[in-house]
Amino acid sequence: DVSRVPVFGLGCAGGVSGLSIASRLAQARPGTNVLLVALELCTLAVRHDELTKANVVAASLFGDGAAAAVLRAGDGGATQIEATGEKQWPDTLDIMGWSVDPEGFGVIFQRTIPDFVRDNFGPAVTEILSRMKLVASDIDRFICHPGGAKVITALERALSLDQGTLDHERDVIADYGNMSGPTVLFVLERARAAGLPPRSLLTALGPGFTASCVALRHAA
């Protein structure tokens, strides 16, 4: 009696976009359990036939990882998904993604990603929040897919946060590296353990180039 919905290709946005998809599935059938599993095997993209700088850097930054969460609509749990949203930028396929050839996956990973995040992510979040009928001041905590050290710094600048605010993000990257989609769920786990504020916003950036957000409401 289990219905499966495999989704591939969301990359680093997979954890947040996966929560969004899972929440809609749960809402469609209140009272049923929806299990979200985010799994990334980034080491499959290690290319011994192409030892380019981009591929070596990607292999060093990324690691394998998995995370899971159970969602259920209609129970009034302590932590609830309030709203979801995405933003896709046109003509950005060359920023991040995969080039698939007979030998396997080749990474597409521009060095300008931190600059793009710094310049474009803030307005994108404002746009997404507006569609949720929210503004930045409504968010008590940002829970972000960290990407890497430079991306974390860019996220703090883009979201007008004090440097060092994204502490769980830095800790997860230090402990596990960038596991692509599951990484933000590792950050969420630590944020939940520390105590979630009334409203949080999960964010991630992935191939497309795409920003994905999920607003969480938490009752103490």
Residues designated catalytic: 12
205: nearest Cα among 140, 90, 107, 125: 125
Q: What tokens were used for 140?
A: 């008590």
Task: Answer yes or no: are the C-beta atoms of 41 and 64 closer than 8 Å.
Answer: yes
Q: What tokens were used for 58?
A: 């990607």
